[in-house]
Structure 1
Amino acid sequence: MERGSVTTPFGRRPMTLALLKGQLDIARSSNPNAVDKWHVFRDISEARALLGLGDRALAVLHALLSFYPEQQLSEGGRLVVFPSNAQLSIRAHGIAGSTLRRHLAALVDAGIVIRKDSPNGKRFARKDRSGAIEQAYGFSLAPLVARAEEFAQMAQRVVADRQRLRLLRERFSLARRDIAKLMSAAIAAGPPADWQTLEQRFLELSTVIGRASSAPELEATVHALDEFRIYLVKLLEIHLNSENSSTNDHQNEHHIENPESDSINESERAPEALPGEKSPSHLTELRTRQTIFPLSLVLRACPDITMYGPGGTIGSWRDLISAAIVVRSMLGVSPSAYQEACEAMGHENAATVMACILERAGHINTAGGYLRDLTAKARRGVFSLGPMLSALMKARGDAQLHGESHVAVARQPNERVRSSVVESIADR
């Protein structure tokens, strides 16, 4: 299209800068290749939302294209079609006149076609003596040739976005199903947690998505559901590990050596590592040096944790570990921090540490940070529960228990552990 062939609309329709810009862009563009009009139509159909077109506008465009005799559109050909409104209405499945005019205007505004109006606004073609079209007035299809590549890229982007949205909806459905079944299994198995709050959070995440939700909204929800699922899996994993810890008697070798050791109930003695657990060699070596104090001694030093056990009582290491998980969540300690403590100290000592932290929770600013600090010291082999329990019992004024814990500490084989003064919970 030549710059001199820019046309203005007939009658009351105004000329706008947007229409002028569209015609100038077409004039500057160049596409030497012929394009298939129906291929371009399919691309426009895919990208109709980006172009602001509805189904009726596409029906009108289809009717306009049907009036062009060739299937290939090229810059060298005459690309003006000039059907009357009556003919267009028939090929557009009987669309009403006012509706037809509205959608023709939408096609022009979207830069799909360009009006080329005659002096009197009629659409017709003037032919020479040989019968060839010399001049035509109607709708120019030149934008379909000039913008064919643009329409193809828009269609590809829409298809990719639709595929992404479909995959996100699949992930949303799978995550929602997994969480529902995991929560049912967890509630039936009985690991302690605030299930009412968790169920409410699950309902909020499950109902926030509707049919009109965008991909970013759906992606954020799927990410939240994935984190929720990971949390539930870890909770059940810890519960299963605690069950294994309480049922494998052959692991119950390391316990406190004091005059009462022969009378300690079997439920008070527990393994240093879970069956099949693959720990680094230095951690395994460290756990063999870690003493597990009698459960009765731990409960006498840290009685507050008893109310968090199943049924408000603690009768075994398994009950203490379950109560520690509840306390961990209540004090805001992350699952990863507690898991690292279990790996460094063993599940029983990690649960004992949580009981101690609960006992002096009012004196600790950040329970999670405090636990990570103790875990780091345990990895270095400079941590012992003895001073921690001793300080708690001393604070309670229980001289008998205080003396009993010191006996246990004195009998630990590692001199560095024995001489280390840990930053205990009872720091004054």
Structure 2
Amino acid sequence: MQIASPGGRRLDHAALAAKKLALETGRTVTRKELSAAAMDAERALDLRAAQRQVLSALAACWGEQEWERLLVWPSNDYLMSRTGLTERAIRRIIEELNKLGLVIPKDSANKKRFAIRDMAGEIIDAYGFDLTPIYVRRGEWAAILAEQKVMREIRKRTYDEVTVARRATEETLNALASHFPEHRDRSDIKDQYSKLLSRTPKRSTAELPVGLLQDWQDLRILAEETYYQAGDAGPKDHHKETNYEFPSEACYKRSPKKAEAAPPNEGSVQHLQPTLIIEACPTISDFGRPIRDTTDIVAAGRYLRASLGAHESAWAEAVEEIGTVRA
């Protein structure tokens, strides 16, 4: 049950707490400082546009008096002219700012807003709105804004990680479709990809659904493992033959002149028929495409080079020294 105050306005706990806030002794607040504190409060509390307009208009009315409280007394007509809002909207927003502990109404007996002057005509007090909490709580606004900045950075990194996992999954699906179109698990992974894509919001200030990042990372691991297993389905250990005999010739050393003096019994590349290559090198089946001629053999060599543990520089050197087909 709320008890009405003598001025007819209902009491609010936030407004009572705001009344206890006070400026430092001898502190004079400029209009610029008050407006800056109001802007920080707007961003920290995520005020609506209309609330921001009214709060900014109130802060702009501060006359920089050397008072203990930051009092302003603009009329509703003045606030309407500055904000473009209706009087009813102005009254509602002031009540909202009061509940937020930003603005404390200081009502006169007839609820009018006006300044109190002394015999010399100097303004010594006023009835209207007390904006002291806005300035006194500026440390609170700074802490909230700092926390919001940290949360934005965390959100951005999370979105980035989701994007990385999504693109990696998409690239793996494309590779599966290109090299292993009939793989039985590809359609299941594609269905999971579509479902996760529908759950993923566009990059914005919205929070990601709980567990979405982990789901994307799990799907990426599943897709990459499926592709690895599909490419590793050929015969195993067919290159682990051990030769304990001494070589009959010296090891080949990198030298352009020695490369030109290749042994005469090497023969021409014409004897390297595709059927012989397939029979001698079962791993070539991992290429996933039919081997019809030497061009396909070279393409398979380039594709399988990394899976066989050969560095790109080794391939380039072999091509330069002995040609693409022998390489």
1:215 equivalenced with 2:212 (yes/no): no
For the residue of structure 2 that corresponds to 1:136, the secondary structure is: strand
Aligned position for 2:19: 23
Q: Are the equivalent residues in 2 in contact too, given 1:123–1:136 (CA < 8 A)?
A: yes
Deviation of 1:216 (Å): 5.4
Q: Are the equivalent residues in 2 in contact too, given 1:242–1:318 (CA < 8 A)?
A: no
For the residue of structure 1 that corresponds to 2:115, the secondary structure is: strand
Aligned position for 1:162: 152
Aligned position for 1:65: 59
Percent identity between the two aligned chains: 25
Aligned position for 2:311: none
Match of 1:199 among 190, 199, 204: 190
For the residue of structure 2 that corresponds to 1:47, the secondary structure is: helix
TM-score with structure 2 setting the length: 0.64
Aligned position for 2:217: 226
Tell me which amino acid in the other structure corresponds to 1:163.
Answer: E
Matches within 5 A, 1:29-428: 36-49=33-46, 53-70=47-64, 77-92=68-83, 94-190=84-180, 192-210=183-201, 214-215=206-207, 217=209, 220-242=211-233, 251-253=239-241
* Cα offsets for 1:213-259 (capped at 9, x unmatched): 843526x212221222123223333444556x66x96x1427xxxxx
For the residue of structure 2 that corresponds to 1:56, the secondary structure is: helix
Deviation of 1:207 (Å): 1.1
Q: Distance in 2 between matches of 1:32 and 1:268?
A: 96
User: How many residues end up aligned between the 2 structures?
Assistant: 246
Higher helix share: 1
Aligned position for 1:309: none
Q: Which runs of 5+ in 1 are unaligned?
A: 1-6, 255-265, 271-315, 323-428
* Cα offsets for 1:164-189 (capped at 9, x unmatched): 32333333333322211211112222
Q: Distance in 2 between matches of 1:30 and 1:231?
A: 62
Deviation of 1:114 (Å): 0.6
Q: Which runs of 5+ in 2 are unaligned?
A: 243-276, 289-327
Q: Distance in 2 between matches of 1:175 and 1:268?
A: 39
Q: Distance in 2 between matches of 1:166 and 1:239?
A: 35
Tell me which amino acid in the other structure corresponds to 1:38.
Answer: S
Aligned position for 2:273: none
CA RMSD of aligned residues (A): 3.6
Alpha-carbon spacing, 1:123–1:15, altered in 2? closer, same or farther (3 Å): same
Tell me which amino acid in the other structure corresponds to 1:105.
Answer: E
Tell me which amino acid in the other structure corresponds to 1:215.
Answer: E
Q: Are the equivalent residues in 2 in contact too, given 1:111–1:143 (CA < 8 A)?
A: yes
Alpha-carbon spacing, 1:46–1:108, altered in 2? closer, same or farther (3 Å): same
Match of 2:7 among 5, 10, 35: 10
For the residue of structure 1 that corresponds to 2:201, the secondary structure is: coil
Structure 1 stretch displaced more, 192-201 or 109-118: 192-201
Alpha-carbon spacing, 1:32–1:44, altered in 2? closer, same or farther (3 Å): farther
For the residue of structure 1 that corresponds to 2:111, the secondary structure is: coil
Q: Are the equivalent residues in 2 in contact too, given 1:269–1:317 (CA < 8 A)?
A: no
For the residue of structure 2 that corresponds to 1:144, the secondary structure is: helix
Aligned position for 1:364: none
Alpha-carbon spacing, 1:32–1:195, altered in 2? closer, same or farther (3 Å): farther
Q: Are the equivalent residues in 2 in contact too, given 1:114–1:140 (CA < 8 A)?
A: yes
Q: Distance in 2 between matches of 1:98 and 1:89?
A: 10
* Cα offsets for 1:95-153 (capped at 9, x unmatched): 11111111111111111111111111000011112332222000001101221100111
Deviation of 1:79 (Å): 0.7
Q: Are the equivalent residues in 2 in contact too, given 1:46–1:159 (CA < 8 A)?
A: no
Q: Are the equivalent residues in 1 in contact too, given 2:73–2:113 (CA < 8 A)?
A: yes
Q: Distance in 2 between matches of 1:161 and 1:167?
A: 10
Aligned position for 1:261: none
Alpha-carbon spacing, 1:42–1:136, altered in 2? closer, same or farther (3 Å): same
